[in-house]
A and B are shown apart, each in its own frame.
Chain A
Amino acid sequence: MRAINNWLEKCTNKYDQSAGIYINFLRTEVLFKEFLKSRNTKTKVKTELGGNPMGVRVVTGRSILAAIMGLGVAFSAQAGKYPDIGPLPQLKINKAKAELGKRLFFDKRLSGDAAISCATCHDPKSGYAHPDALSPGYPGNGHFRNAQTVVNAAHKKVWNHDGRIGTNLNDMTREMLTEDYIMNMDMRIMQERVKQDPVYVKMFKDAGYGEPSNGSVRKAIPEYLQTLTSRNSLFDKGKMSASAKKGMALFKGKGGCIQCHNGPLLTDQKAHNTGVAENFDIFLDPNNHQAFIAFTMFQGVPDYMNLKRDPGYYNVTLLKQDIGKFITPQLRELKYTAPYMHNGMIKTLADVVEFYNQGGGKDSRKDSALKPLDLSKAEKKDLLAFLNALSGDQLTSDEHVWKGKYPAEYEVIADWNNVKN
C-alpha cells in the first residue's frame, strides 16, 4: 500500500505541472468511482490487494492509472484518517521578486482600463478578500462569486471556488489578469505599460528577470503571494483558549468538520456540495448575470442561458453529479473575510456554524457526510472560538502592502528616436 501511495504521490506531483494531465486525472478519478459503484466492487477494493482485486479489466495505461488512483482514494477513506491540521510550512521567498510582485499586485495599471488592481477585490483590510457577497468584478460588469482571500494561496494546489485552475499560481495570475469580467487585460499592453515605468525596469532587473515581460509579471506576483502566509494565529502558537480547544475537539469529532477541512490549510481542496443557497443577486442584477453568462459560455456549460444556479465544479468536469459542488475553502483568516461561502450567502461565522449544525443546506446532490450535528449552544460557541483562533495577524503593514505612490502619468522615454524599444 505504501508503494501505491508513493506512486500516487508522484502522480500528484506530476499533475501539478500540467493542467491537461491534471484534468484527466480528475475526470478519471470520478469516472473510476462511478465504475466501482456500478460494479459494486467497493468492498472488494477495501479488502483485497493481490492479483486483480477490483475485477477491473485493464485495457489501457490510463485505466491502470485510474485503478491505482481509485485504490488510493479507497484506502485513505478506509483508514478514516485525515491529514492533520497544523502550522503551514515556511516558504522560501526571493525578496526582490516578492517586492516587485507586491508593487504589481496593488497597481491599477494592470487592468484593461487601468481602473482596478488585484487588491481592488483582494483588499488587505478585508483579509485580501472583499466584503461584498459577490466580488465587484471589472468595471462595466459585476461578478458571480465571492472574492476569496489570497492569503495562503501559495500553499494551495487548486484555485477558484470551482477548482478550474489546478496548475500553479502563474496560471492563476494569468487567469485573473486576462479574464474579461475580472481584469480584462491584454497582457501585451500590460508588458508595455510595465516597461514604461522606470521603477519597474529597475525592479525587474534587480529581481533577476531582466527586461520586464508579461511572463515575469506572472512569476513575480506568485512570489509576492508566497509572502501572504498566515502567521501568529493562536492555533499556530499553541495559545488557544480553553473554549477554542474544546472547539477543536468538536471540529475533529462530533462536528465532523475535519472530514473536508483537514491539513494545514484546513481544506481537502476537493469539491463538495453542501447545499448553500443560491445568491439570487447573480441573476437579478444584469451586471452580475452577464459575467456569469460569459463565464459559463466560455466554460462550455450546456444551456447556459437558462441556468438559474451556479453549477460549480460541474464547470470543470461537465458531470452531472458535480453540479453544485465547490472546492472546500481553507479556514484560515476567516475573521477578516466575511461573508462566507462561494457566493457570500452566509454573513457571519456563527451563521456558518449553524448552517452545518443543521446538516448543511438543501440539495438533492448534497454530500452524504453532512448530517445534523445537534450541537449545544456552548458547543457552537466553542467551535466558533476555534475558527477564530485560526486567523493570524492582519497583513496590512508595509511589509505586505505597497504603500508607495504610482505615477499619475507614464514617464516619457527620453531620446526615444535613438534608444532601442
Chain B
Amino acid sequence: MKKVTKLRFTVLAAAITTTFVLGCVGQATAGGIPPLASLDTLDVPIPPDNKQSPAKVELGKILFFDPRIGGDASTGCSTCHEPDQGWAWSEDFSRGYPGTVHWRNSQTIINSAFYPRQFWAGSASSNEKQAKSAATGGVAGNGESDIMEARLALIPDYVTRFKDVFGTEWPLITDVWLAISAFERTMNTLGKHEAPLDKYLKGDKSALNEQQIKGKALFEGKAGCIQCHNGALVTDSDYHNIGVPPNKRWEEDGLAQITFRFEQYAKGQTQEGYRKAKSDWGFYYRSKNKWDRGKFRTPSLRYAAYTAPYMHNGVFMSLEEVVDFYNVGGKDEEGRTTLFPENMDKRIKPLGLNDDEKEALVAFIESMSGPEITMKKPTMPPYAPLFTKAQLQAAQEAK
C-alpha cells in the first residue's frame, strides 16, 4: 500500500512539473508518464466478491475449455482464446460462432486480470462481465444462460465441484463467470513466465541484449511509444485513435459484411450511423461522442510476441508491420488510415526511424514476452442422466 501511495505522489509531482515545464509546448512526452515497471510491482487484483481458491481456479480452468458453454456446444472460451495461439486467435478477426465470423481481433487472456476494463472498447468492467458477454454474444459464443445452466446440471462432476466451491445445490450460470475469471486471474506472466524486460527492470542487466536496450531507448524516447504504452502493464488503459485503417475483409468477404452490420445494429448505432459506417467506431459505441469514433483501448504489449495479428481488427500480421505503421504516422503500407482522421491522437506523427531502429524497437517489444504459457487441455467431464429408469417408472406409476 505504501508503495502505491508513494508512486501516486511521484506521478502527481511529475505531472505538476510537466505542466509547468511543458505547459505551453502541448503534449507531454516525458514527465507524467508512469515508467515501465516489472509486472510483479502489481498484485493481481482480486475482487472482494470473487475470492480465489484452488478448487475454484480448477473448476474455472475446466469451464474455460468446455465447448458446452456456448450455443451449440461446439464453442468454449478456448475456441477463440486458444493456448497455442497466444491464448488468442491467430487470424485478423476472431473466428466467431459457427456460421459467423467476428469483427474484432481476439485478445489474449494472459494478464487480462490486471486491466480495469476488458474488450477493445472497454465495454466490460471485469473478467466476469467479459466472460458472460463473450459466451452469450451472437458472433462469439451465442449461448443462452438457461440452456448452458441446464447442461451443467447434467454433468455430475460439475454438480459436485460447484457445490463444493459455491455451495449451491445446482450449478448457476453466474458462478460459471466467477470460476472462469478466477482461472484467468492465474493466467499471467508473473513468476516463471516473467519477460526478459521484467528481469532487466529488476536489475538483471544481461536480460536484454544491446539491440533491445537500444530499442528501449527508442520506445521511451524518439518513437514515443511510452506515451500510451506505459507502467507495469505497458498500457495506459485509455482510448485512442491511432489511425488504424478498416480491415479490407469488410470489402471482400460477405460473412464479414454481415457481422459488420450486425454490430452496428447490436451496439445501438443510429439509423444514419448504421447506414454510413464503414469502419469500427470503437469507443464511440459506449460514449456516443463523435470525437470518440475510431478510439480503442491501448493494449498491453506483454505477451505480444505470441498474439499476432495486431490491432483491434487484426490488420497487421507482424510487429514489424506495426512499427512501420507508426513510423509513417499511422498509415498502412498503402497509405490507408482511420476513417476519422479528425479524431486521431495528435501524438501520432512520422517517427523517422531507420531500419536498424525499427528492428531494435521490435526486438525490445519482443523482450516483453517471456516463455510461452502452455497448458494441457483438461478432460471434459461427461454428461450423465439425472434420473434412473426405476425412478422414472415410479413417477409414472404415481401419476
Contacts and interface: CB of A to CB of B under 8 A. Distances in A.
Note whether A and B form a binding pair.
Answer: yes
Interface extent on A, as a size class?
A: 35 or more
B98 A114 contact: yes
Most A CB contacts (10 A, CB to CB) among B71, B139, B384 go to B71
Contacts of B138: 112, 186, 188-189
B118 interface: no
B385 A140 contact: no
Most B CB contacts (10 A, CB to CB) among A138, A186, A195 go to A186
Nearest to A418: B278
A191 B265 contact: yes
Most B CB contacts (10 A, CB to CB) among A114, A193, A277 go to A193
Interface string B258-289: 11111011100000001111100000000000
A420 B257 contact: no
Contacts of A411: 254
A32 interface: no
A198 to B, nearest CB: 10
Given A294-B146, A363-B399, A308 B392 contact: yes
A113 B101 CA distance: 11
Interface residues of B, number: 56
Interface string A297-323: 110000001001100000000000000
Interface stretch (B14-22, B150-158, B231-239): B150-158
Interface stretch (A45-53, A77-85, A250-258, A282-290): A282-290
A75 B146 CA distance: 43
A287 B170 CA distance: 17
Contacts, number: 166
A192 to B, nearest CB: 4
Contacts of B396: 277-278, 308-309
Contacts of B257: 196, 410, 412-413, 416
A51 B146 CA distance: 52
Nearest to A411: B254
B72 interface: yes
Interface in B373-397: 383-387, 389, 391-393, 395-396
B255 interface: yes
Given A186-B138, A297-B146, A324-B399, A139 B73 contact: yes
Task: Summarize A's interface: helix, strand, loop or mixed.
Answer: loop
Interface string B142-166: 1110110111011000000000000
Contact of B255 (A140, A291, A363, A409): A409
Contacts of A114: 98-99
Given A140-B68, A196-B257, A189 B139 contact: yes
Contacts of B296: none
A71 to B, nearest CB: 33
28 contacts: A109-B99, A112-B71, A112-B138, A113-B71, A113-B99, A115-B98, A115-B99, A180-B71, A180-B143, A188-B265, A192-B258, A196-B258, A280-B389, A283-B385, A283-B386, A284-B389, A289-B150, A290-B147, A294-B146, A294-B149, A295-B146, A297-B150, A305-B153, A309-B399, A410-B254, A412-B257, A416-B278, A421-B276
Interface of B: 68, 70-74, 97-100, 138-139, 142-144, 146-147, 149-151, 153-154, 169-170, 250-255, 257-262, 264-266, 274-278, 383-387, 389, 391-393, 395-396, 399
Which 6 residue pairs spanning A and B have beta carbons closest together? A410-B254, A140-B73, A114-B99, A186-B138, A293-B150, A308-B395
Given A192-B265, A416-B250, 19 more contacts: A111-B99, A112-B71, A112-B72, A112-B97, A112-B142, A180-B147, A189-B139, A189-B259, A191-B265, A196-B257, A284-B392, A286-B151, A286-B386, A290-B153, A290-B154, A291-B150, A297-B149, A362-B399, A412-B253
